[in-house]
Amino acid sequence: MLRKAAIIGVPLDLGANRRGVEMGPSGLRVTNLAERIRKIGYDVVDRGDIDVPLPEECDIGDPKMKYAEDIKDVCEDVCAASLKAHKEGRIPLVLGGDHSLAMGSIAGSAKFHREKDERIGLIWFDAHGDMNTPESSLSGNVHGMPLAHVLGMGDEELMSIGGFKPKVRKSNCVLVGIRDLDEREKKNIVESGVMVFTMKDIDKHGVSHVMDEAIEAASRGTEGIHVSFDIDSCDPSIAPGVGTPKKGGLEYREAHLCMEMLADTKDVIAIDMVEINPILDTRNSTAEFASELILSCLGKRIF
C-alpha cells in the first residue's frame, strides 16, 4: 500500500524573540525534501504555507503571552490543515517556524482520533521544556509555552485550539533531550507528571533505552505517536541554525537512531520539524540535517 504524506509549511516567528525561523519551511524545501520522500515510497503533496502575519502587522497584546491572539489564529489554521491531511490518509509533515505551531498540529492529530474515540501519544524532542505558562514565563514568548497548553495548562484560549482540551494525556507525553529549563518551569513539569528524559539520562542509559521507554509510554492505550521535533534538541555542532542553541545535545547518530526507532514502530502519525533559523545557519546545513531526520522517521533505512 502506497504511503502518503502532506507537507504543511508554517512560517511562524511570533512566538520567538528573534527573527529568522519564519524562513525554516523554505530552508527545508530547498533540500528537495518532497522528492526525497517520494524516493522512499510516499505519495507526497505540498500544501504550501499557512498564512502568517508579520510581527509589524500584529498587536503584541498581553506581555505575558506576546502575540497570543495571532498565534492562536495561525494554530487554528494549522489544526485544520493537519486534520485535512489525516482525513486523506496522509501523515502531516509540519515545517516550522517556531514551536508554538505545535499547539495547532497536535490539535489536528488529536481531533482526528478524538472523533473516533481514540487517543494519541506525543514525543517532544527539545533542549527546553516548553512548559511555561503566561504566569510562569519571564519572557512572555509563546514558543516557550506550547507543550503546557497542549496538556491543558495555561491560557484558556491557547488550551482550547481545535475546540477541546487537553490534546494529550500527560501519561502519554514524553520529553526527550531536555537540558535547559527555567526555574519556575521545572515546577510545572514536576507537577504535570509527564515523563522526562534529560541529556543526563541519555548519557547514563543510552539513547536506545530512553527511546524504548519513551515509545512504550507514548504508545500505551493510544492509536499513534505525534513526533514534535525541535532541532535545538541536537547539539549546535551539528545543528547551528537555531535561535536558542545549547551545548550538549543529541549527536548526529543519536538523533537518527531516535527517528529510526520511531519508524520501526510504524505508529508515527505526524511529524513537526521546527525552530530552524536559516539566518543563523551555515550553508543550510541545519535544514539538510532536519530533512534527513524526517526521512529517517518516515522509514528510510541504512540497509
Catalytic amino acids?
99, 126, 128, 130, 143, 230, 232, 275
Tell me the C-alpha distance between 295 and 303, whole Å: 14
**145: nearest Cα among 277, 243, 14, 271:** 14
Instruction: Compute φ and ψ for 189, nearest 5 degrees.
Output: -65, -45
One-letter identity of residue 129? G
Place of cell 547518530: 253
Q: Is 77 exposed, middle or buried (0-12, 13-18, 19+ CB in 10 A)?
A: middle
Distance CA 281, CA 241 (A): 4
CA 288 to chain centre: 17
Q: What is the crossing angle of helices 102-114 and 68-87, to 10°?
A: 40
* Residue 265, phi then psi, degrees to nearest 5: -70, -25
Residue 235 to residue 245: CA distance in whole angstroms = 8
Could you tell me the three cell numbers for 191? 507537577
- Alpha carbon 71 to its chain centroid, in Å, reads 15
CA-CA distance, 47 to 41, in Å (whole number)? 19
Per-residue buried b or exposed e for 88-99, using 16+ beta carbons within 10 Å of the residue's own CB: eebbbbbbbbbb
Say if residue 97 is preceded by a cis peptide, omega within 30 of 0.
yes
